[in-house]
C-alpha cells in the first residue's frame, strides 16, 4: 500500500479593513450608512464609558468583581450589529458592548456584576442568553439554539462568543464539531485577547492561529482584526449570510488584546510585562473608529462632546436604577422548579420564619422594589 | 392491555411522546438506525425520521449542551446516555446550565428535558457499565430524579418526565429491562412524579427501596412472610427528587420499624436522606434503629465478582430480622 499525501484546504483569510491610523481599505469597506456609523460609534463609546464606570464602582465596593472589556469593544459589537434582533446572541462574559447594543438594560448588567439574577434575565422579547461564567460552556447551548432555529425552518442564526482560553475546553470542540456535523447556523466568535487570566495565547495552543481550528471541523474560519469594527461587521455579515443560506457554521477569530485585568480580582503585573501592553494602545478600536468617522465627516468634535455627555448621563441613570434595586429574598424558591417540591415548600417556610424572626430580611413574598427602574 | 417488558414499555412511552408532541426530539448515540444499544428506541427512527430521532456524535457533554439550546428555542429534548457511566461527561452542562437556567433567568428560560440513562449492576458488563450514582444527580438543586422499577410505572413515569417543565434524570434499572413482563394499559397512562407507591401492605416493618433493588426486596418480603411470619410493608419510592416523605412517614408510623435498600454506595446515599427524614418527622414512632442495605462504599467490582456486593434477598431478610428482633 502506498503512502500518499492527503491535500487539505489549509489557508484561512485574515481580514483588516480599518488600520490603526484610521485609514480604510476602500475595496473592503462595508456599506454602512451615516446613521449606522453613528449608532456604532455611540455604542462603542457607551461600552467604553460603562467599562470605566464599572471599574470605579468596583473599587468603591459598589459592585462585586468586574471583568472589564476595555479595548475589546469592537469584537463584540460588530457581530451584534451584523445580526438581526430575531437572531440569537450568546455571550460569554466580556461582551458588554454587544449586549448593550442588543438591548440589555445597562442597569441589569450592573446588577449582574452586583450579584443579582435579574442581571441574567433578558427582557421578554430579547433573543439573548445571559452572561455565561463556565468557560466555553455557552458554545454548546449556542449550537443547540442554532439547531432549534434550523428545525424551525427559518433563516435565523445564533452568534456565540468564547475567549482564546476557551478554545482549549472540550465544550468548544464538542460544540463546534456538532454544529459543523449538523450544518447548524452558528457563528462562533473567539475573542482572542491573548491572555486567559495568566496564561498567554502561545501557551494555550500550538496552533498558529485559532481560526485554523475551523479547518479540522470542515467549516470556514477567518481571522479578523478584532479591534477593527469594520472588519468585525464585515466578517460577521459574510458568516451570517452563509449560515442563513444553509451553509453551516463559521469560526471567527477576533484578534484583540486584554488591555486591563482579567477581572478586578487579579493583578497582571505578576505575569505580564507592561511593555507588552504598550504596542496595543495605538490599536484602540474606539480611537481608530473616531478617526474614521471624523475624517468622513460623520461626526465632529462638538457632536462627539454632546454624545459623551449623553452617554455619561445614561450611565449615571443606570447606576442609580441598579442601586435602588432590592432583591426579593423569597424568590429563589420560586425558580428552582416550575412548582415547589414538598421539601422546598418546607424549607421556604423555615427561611421565611428565619427572615421574619431576625427582622433583617424582606417580608414574605415582598415584590421586588424597583423592577421597573431596571428595564 | 399488553404484556410488556420494561424495554418495550419505555419504547411505548417514547413513541407516544413523539406522536403527541411534535417538538419532542430524541438524541443520543446509536439511538436511530441501531435503535439504541438496549433497543429502547426500536422502530422510532423509521416512524418519525432523522429529524426527530437523532444519531448523535460521541459527545455526551454536547448531547446535554445542545439539548439546553433546543429547550431555549421551544423544543423538548429526550436525551439518551448510553450508560450512566458515560453520563459524567454531561455532568458539567447539567450542573452548570440545565439545572440552573430557570433560576438564573428568573423563569425566562427553562430546561424541560429528560435525560435517560441505564444504571446498575448485575448484567455482567465491563467496567463503567454497572454503577448506581443516583445520589450525584439527586444532589443537584433543580434536577428531578425518577427511577422506575417495572414496565407499567416505567412507561407512565417516562411520559410524566417528558411532560415535566423541568429537567428530569430518568434513571433506568437496566437489569430490569427484560427481566419480567407486566400488563401495561393501552391508554396513555401518566403517573405523578414525586409519589411513592405502597406496593405491598404489611404491619410489622416498612421496607423502602426503588429501581432494580425492588426485585430482591419483593422476593424477600414473600420469603419473610412464608418462612418467618413477618408481614412487611413495601414502598417503591419511584422518585428521589421529589421524595415522598408523606408516604414514608405514614408507613413508618404504622410499623415502627424500617429498612432502606439500594444499590448505590451507603455513604451520603439516598437511604441516608430517607432515614434523616424519618428521624426528623417520625422519631418517636420508631421502635428500633433503622437498617440500611446498600452498596458498599467501593467501586463495584468487575462483573465476575459484583453480585455479592449488591443488595440481595439474603441481605434484606437478615436486616429485617435484625430490625424486628431489637
H/E/C letters for each residue in B117-158? EEECCCCCCCCCCCCCCHHHHHCCCCCEEECCCCHHHHHHHH
CATH of the domain at A117: 3.40.50.970
B267-288 burial, b if ≥16 CB within 10 A, otherwise e?
eebbbebbbebbeeebeeebeb
Q: CA of B312, closest CA in chain A: separation in Å?
A: 31
Q: Per-residue pLDDT for B36 more than 60?
A: yes
Q: Within this chain, do residues B216 and B99 fall inside the same structural domain, yes or no?
A: no
Q: Which cell numbers hold the place of A28?
A: 473592503
**Residue A246 near residue A42 (C-beta atoms within 8 A):** no
Strands A195-196 and A186-192: unpaired
CB pair distance less than 8 Å for B108 and A341:
no
Q: Within this chain, do residues B170 and B297 fall inside the same structural domain, yes or no?
A: no
Rounded percentage of chain A residues whose pLDDT exceeds 70? 95
Query: Going by C-beta distance under 8 Å and a sequence separation of 6 or more, which residues neighbour residue B138?
Result: B145, B169, B240, B241, B270, B273
CATH of the domain at B166: 3.40.50.970
Last residue of a domain, one of A323, A342, A361: A323
What domain range includes position B315? Answer: 197-324
The stretch A69-91 carries a mean pLDDT of 98
Q: Within this chain, do residues B223 and B147 fall inside the same structural domain, yes or no?
A: no
Helix, coil or strand: residue B228: helix
Rounded to the nearest 10 degrees, the angle between the axes of helix A229-244 and helix A285-295 is 90
Confidence at residue A366, expressed as pLDDT on a 0 to 100 scale: 44
Confidence at residue A359, expressed as pLDDT on a 0 to 100 scale: 47
Confidence at residue B1, expressed as pLDDT on a 0 to 100 scale: 82
Q: Is B49 on the interface with A (CB under 8 A)?
A: no
What is residue B298's DSSP assignment? S
Q: Is B91 on the interface with A (CB under 8 A)?
A: no
Q: Within this chain, do residues A260 and A336 fall inside the same structural domain, yes or no?
A: no
Q: For the segment A14-50, what is each residue's pLDDT rounded down to a tens digit?
A: 999 999 999 999 999 999 999 999 999 999 999 999 9
Q: Which of A125, A76, A71 is nearest to A100 (CA)?
A: A76
Considering only CB atoms, B108 lies closest to which of A121, A137, A149, namely A121
The stretch B62-73 carries a mean pLDDT of 98
Q: Within this chain, do residues B173 and B244 fall inside the same structural domain, yes or no?
A: no
CA distance A252 to A264: 28
Q: How many Cβ atoms sit within 10 Å of the Cβ of residue B183?
A: 11
* Chain B residues touching A342 at Cβ < 8 A: 194, 242-246
Residue positions of B annotated with a catalytic role? 129
Task: Categorize the per-residue pLDDT at A1 as very low, low, confident or very high, splitting at 50, 70 and 90.
Answer: confident
In a domain, B192, yes or no: no
Query: Going by C-beta distance under 8 Å and a sequence separation of 6 or more, which residues neighbour residue A259?
Result: A70, A71, A72, A277, A280, A281
In a domain, B305, yes or no: yes
Distance of CA B111 to the CA centre of its chain: 19
| Interface with A, mutate which of B25, B49, B68, B69 (most A CBs under 10 A) | B69
Strands B232-236 and B239-241: unpaired
The stretch B190-211 carries a mean pLDDT of 98
Q: Which of B62, B65, B58 is nearest to B82 (CA)?
A: B58
* Chain A residues touching B56 at Cβ < 8 A: 178
CB pair distance less than 8 Å for A148 and B62:
no
**Mean of the per-residue pLDDT values of chain A:** 94
Q: Within this chain, do residues B31 and B105 fall inside the same structural domain, yes or no?
A: yes
Last residue of a domain, one of B184, B205, B221: B184
CB pair distance less than 8 Å for B69 and A130:
no
The stretch A317-334 carries a mean pLDDT of 97
Concerning whether A262 is annotated as a catalytic residue, the answer is: yes
Task: Categorize the per-residue pLDDT at A374 as very low, low, confident or very high, splitting at 50, 70 and 90.
Answer: low
* Chain B residues touching A134 at Cβ < 8 A: 92, 96-97
Confidence at residue A339, expressed as pLDDT on a 0 to 100 scale: 98
pTM recorded for the entire structure: 0.96
Helix, coil or strand: residue B92: helix
**Residue B195 near residue B247 (C-beta atoms within 8 A):** yes
Q: Within this chain, do residues A188 and A71 fall inside the same structural domain, yes or no?
A: yes
Task: Categorize the per-residue pLDDT at B39 as very low, low, confident or very high, splitting at 50, 70 and 90.
Answer: very high
Q: CA of A96, closest CA in chain B: separation in Å?
A: 17
Q: CA of A97, closest CA in chain B: separation in Å?
A: 20
Task: Categorize the per-residue pLDDT at B249 as very low, low, confident or very high, splitting at 50, 70 and 90.
Answer: very high
In a domain, A6, yes or no: no
Q: For the segment B150-182, what is each residue's pLDDT rounded down to a tens digit?
A: 999 999 999 999 999 999 999 999 999 999 999
CB pair distance less than 8 Å for A171 and B68:
no
Task: Categorize the per-residue pLDDT at B230 as very low, low, confident or very high, splitting at 50, 70 and 90.
Answer: very high
Considering only CB atoms, B69 lies closest to which of A122, A134, A147, namely A147
Please spell the DSSP secondary structure of B299-315, one letter per residue: PPPPGGG-GGGS--HHH
In a domain, B7, yes or no: yes
For chain B, give the number of residues: 326
Q: Is B246 on the interface with A (CB under 8 A)?
A: yes
CB pair distance less than 8 Å for B69 and A124:
no
Q: What ipTM describes this predicted complex?
A: 0.96
Q: Within this chain, do residues A193 and A147 fall inside the same structural domain, yes or no?
A: yes
Q: Per-residue pLDDT for A360 more than 90?
A: no
What domain range includes position A139? Answer: 13-19+30-323
Distance of CA B210 to the CA centre of its chain: 7
* Chain B residues touching A177 at Cβ < 8 A: 57, 59, 62
Q: Is B248 on the interface with A (CB under 8 A)?
A: no
The stretch B5-12 carries a mean pLDDT of 98
Considering only CB atoms, A178 lies closest to which of B62, B144, B165, namely B62
CA distance A91 to A188: 10
The stretch A149-172 carries a mean pLDDT of 98
Q: How many Cβ atoms sit within 10 Å of the Cβ of residue B323?
A: 24
Confidence at residue A370, expressed as pLDDT on a 0 to 100 scale: 45
Confidence at residue B7, expressed as pLDDT on a 0 to 100 scale: 98
* Chain B residues touching A147 at Cβ < 8 A: 66, 69-70, 73
Q: Per-residue pLDDT for B299 more than 50?
A: yes
In a domain, A4, yes or no: no
Q: Per-residue pLDDT for A308 more than 60?
A: yes
CA distance A295 to B26: 56
In a domain, B130, yes or no: yes
In a domain, B113, yes or no: yes
CA distance B287 to B256: 5
Confidence at residue A358, expressed as pLDDT on a 0 to 100 scale: 58
Query: Which candidate in A102, A108, A258, A288 is catalytic?
Result: A258
Q: Within this chain, do residues B136 and B268 fall inside the same structural domain, yes or no?
A: no
In a domain, A245, yes or no: yes
In a domain, B252, yes or no: yes
In a domain, B191, yes or no: no
Please state the domain count of chain B.
Answer: 2
Q: CA of B165, closest CA in chain A: separation in Å?
A: 6
Q: Within this chain, do residues A312 and A360 fall inside the same structural domain, yes or no?
A: no
Q: Which cell numbers hold the place of A167?
A: 478554545
Q: Which cell numbers hold the place of B201?
A: 401492605
* Chain A residues touching B59 at Cβ < 8 A: 174, 177-178
Query: Going by C-beta distance under 8 Å and a sequence separation of 6 or more, which residues neighbour residue A335?
Result: A117, B102, B103, B106, B107
Please state the domain count of chain A.
Answer: 2
Q: Is B109 on the interface with A (CB under 8 A)?
A: yes
Beta-bridged to residue B241, according to DSSP, are B145
The stretch A269-294 carries a mean pLDDT of 96
Query: Going by C-beta distance under 8 Å and a sequence separation of 6 or more, which residues neighbour residue B314?
Result: none
Q: Per-residue pLDDT for A363 more than 80?
A: no
Q: Which helix (H) or strand (E) holds A80?
A: helix A73-82
Q: For the segment A208-264, what is each residue's pLDDT rounded down to a tens digit?
A: 999 999 999 999 999 999 999 999 999 999 999 999 999 999 999 999 999 999 999
Q: Per-residue pLDDT for B297 more than 70?
A: yes
Considering only CB atoms, A178 lies closest to which of B66, B71, B92, namely B66
| Interface with B, mutate which of A143, A144, A375 (most B CBs under 10 A) | A144
Q: CA of B82, closest CA in chain A: separation in Å?
A: 17
Confidence at residue A375, expressed as pLDDT on a 0 to 100 scale: 55
* Chain B residues touching A172 at Cβ < 8 A: none
**Mean of the per-residue pLDDT values of chain B:** 97
- Please name the residue of chain B whose CA is at the shortest distance from the CA of residue A170: B61
Task: Categorize the per-residue pLDDT at B214 as very low, low, confident or very high, splitting at 50, 70 and 90.
Answer: very high
In a domain, A25, yes or no: no
Cα B257 to Cα A269, B253, B291, B317, B324, distances in angstroms = 65, 8, 9, 14, 7
Q: Within this chain, do residues B19 and B105 fall inside the same structural domain, yes or no?
A: yes
Confidence at residue A299, expressed as pLDDT on a 0 to 100 scale: 97
CA distance A329 to A150: 39
Beta-bridged to residue A199, according to DSSP, are A196
Task: Categorize the per-residue pLDDT at A7 as very low, low, confident or very high, splitting at 50, 70 and 90.
Answer: confident
Q: Per-residue pLDDT for A352 more than 90?
A: yes
Check whether the bond before B242 is cis (ω within 30° of 0). yes
In a domain, B189, yes or no: no
Q: Per-residue pLDDT for A373 more than 80?
A: no
Q: CA of B16, closest CA in chain A: separation in Å?
A: 21
- Please name the residue of chain A whose CA is at the shortest distance from the CA of residue B273: A343
Q: Within this chain, do residues B148 and B59 fall inside the same structural domain, yes or no?
A: yes
Q: CA of B126, closest CA in chain A: separation in Å?
A: 26
CB pair distance less than 8 Å for B69 and A178:
no
Amino acid at each position: 500500500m502506498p503512502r500518499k499525501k492527503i491535500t487539505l484546504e489549509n489557508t484561512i483569510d485574515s481580514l483588516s479593513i480599518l488600520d490603526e491610523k484610521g485609514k480604510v481599505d476602500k475595496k473592503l469597506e462595508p456599506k454602512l450608512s451615516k446613521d449606522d456609523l453613528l449608532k456604532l460609534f455611540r455604542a462603542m463609546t457607551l461600552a467604553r464609558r460603562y467599562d470605566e464606570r464599572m471599574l470605579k464602582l468596583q473599587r468603591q465596593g459598589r459592585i462585586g468583581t468586574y471583568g472589564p472589556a476595555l479595548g475589546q469593544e469592537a469584537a463584540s459589537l460588530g457581530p451584534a450589529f451584523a445580526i438581526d434582533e430575531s437572531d440569537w446572541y450568546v455571550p460569554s462574559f466580556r461582551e458588554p458592548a454587544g449586549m448593550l447594543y442588543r438591548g440589555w438594560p445597562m442597569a441589569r448588567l450592573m446588577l449582574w456584576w452586583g450579584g443579582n439574577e435579574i442581571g441574567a434575565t433578558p427582557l421578554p422579547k430579547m433573543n439573548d442568553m445571559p452572561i455565561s461564567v463556565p468557560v466555553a460552556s455557552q458554545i454548546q447551548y449556542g449550537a443547540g439554539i442554532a439547531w432549534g432555529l434550523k428545525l424551525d425552518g427559518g433563516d435565523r442564526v445564533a452568534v456565540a462568543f468564547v475567549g482564546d482560553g476557551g478554545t482549549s475546553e472540550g465544550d468548544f470542540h464538542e460544540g463546534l464539531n456538532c454544529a459543523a456535523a449538523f450544518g447548524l447556523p452558528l457563528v462562533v466568535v473567539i475573542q482572542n485577547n491573548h491572555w486567559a487570566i495568566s496564561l498567554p495565547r502561545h501557551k494555550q495552543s500550538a496552533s498558529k492561529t485559532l481560526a485554523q481550528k475551523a479547518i479540522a471541523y470542515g467549516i470556514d474560519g477567518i481571522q479578523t482584526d478584532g479591534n477593527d469594527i469594520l472588519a468585525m461587521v464585515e466578517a460577521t455579515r459574510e458568516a451570517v449570510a452563509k449560515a442563513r443560506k444553509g451553509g453551516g457554521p463559521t469560526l471567527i477569530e477576533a484578534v484583540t488584546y486584554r488591555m486591563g485585568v482579567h477581572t478586578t480580582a487579579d493583578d497582571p503585573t505578576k505575569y505580564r510585562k507592561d511593555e507588552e501592553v504598550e504596542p496595543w494602545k495605538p490599536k484602540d478600536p474606539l480611537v481608530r473608529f473616531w478617526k474614521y468617522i471624523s475624517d468622513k465627516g460623520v461626526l465632529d468634535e462638538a457632536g462627539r462632546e454632546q454624545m459623551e455627555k449623553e452617554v455619561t448621563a445614561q450611565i449615571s441613570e443606570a447606576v442609580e436604577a441598579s442601586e435602588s434595586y432590592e432583591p426579593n429574598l423569597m424568590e429563589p424558591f420560586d425558580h428552582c422548579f416550575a412548582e415547589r417540591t414538598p421539601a422546598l415548600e418546607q424549607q421556604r417556610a423555615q427561611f421565611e420564619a428565619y427572615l421574619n424572626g431576625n427582622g433583617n430580611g424582606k417580608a414574605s413574598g415582598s415584590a421586588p422594589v424597583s423592577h421597573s427602574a431596571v428595564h | 392491555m399488553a404484556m410488556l417488558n420494561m424495554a418495550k414499555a419505555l419504547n411505548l412511552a417514547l413513541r407516544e411522546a413523539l406522536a403527541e408532541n411534535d417538538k419532542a426530539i430524541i438524541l443520543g448515540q446509536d439511538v436511530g438506525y441501531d435503535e439504541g444499544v438496549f433497543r429502547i428506541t426500536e422502530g422510532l427512527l423509521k416512524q418519525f425520521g432523522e429529524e426527530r430521532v437523532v444519531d448523535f456524535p460521541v459527545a455526551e457533554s454536547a448531547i446535554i449542551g445542545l439539548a439546553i439550546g433546543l429547550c431555549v428555542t421551544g423544543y423538548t429534548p429526550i436525551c439518551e446516555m448510553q450508560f450512566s457511566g458515560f453520563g459524567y461527561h454531561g455532568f458539567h452542562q447539567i450542573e452548570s446550565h440545565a439545572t440552573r437556567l430557570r433560576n438564573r433567568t428568573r423563569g425566562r428560560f427553562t430546561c424541560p428535558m429528560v435525560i435517560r440513562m441505564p444504571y446498575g449492576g448485575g448484567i455482567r458488563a465491563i467496567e463503567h457499565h454497572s454503577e448506581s450514582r443516583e445520589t450525584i444527580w439527586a444532589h443537584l438543586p433543580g434536577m428531578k430524579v425518577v427511577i422506575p422499577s417495572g414496565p407499567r410505572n416505567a412507561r407512565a413515569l417516562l411520559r410524566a418526565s417528558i411532560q415535566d417543565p423541568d429537567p428530569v434524570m430518568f434513571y433506568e434499572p437496566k437489569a430490569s429491562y427484560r427481566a419480567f413482563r407486566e400488563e401495561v394499559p393501552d391508554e396513555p397512562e401518566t403517573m405523578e412524579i414525586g409519589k411513592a407507591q405502597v406496593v405491598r401492605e404489611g404491619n410489622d416493618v416498612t421496607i423502602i427501596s426503588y429501581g432494580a433493588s425492588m426485585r430482591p426486596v419483593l422476593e424477600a418480603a414473600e420469603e419473610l412472610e412464608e418462612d418467618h411470619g413477618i408481614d412487611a410493608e413495601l414502598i417503591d419510592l419511584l422518585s428521589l427528587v421529589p421524595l415522598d416523605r408523606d408516604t414514608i412517614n405514614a408507613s413508618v408510623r404504622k410499623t415502627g420499624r424500617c429498612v432502606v435498600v439500594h444499590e448505590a454506595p451507603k455513604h451520603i446515599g439516598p437511604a441516608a436522606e430517607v432515614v434523616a427524614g424519618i428521624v426528623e418527622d417520625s422519631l418517636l414512632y420508631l421502635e428500633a434503629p433503622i437498617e440500611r442495605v446498600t452498596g458498599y462504599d467501593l467501586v463495584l467490582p468487575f462483573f465476575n465478582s459484583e453480585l455479592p456486593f449488591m443488595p440481595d434477598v439474603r441481605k434484606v431478610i437478615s436486616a429485617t430480622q435484625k430490625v424486628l428482633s431489637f
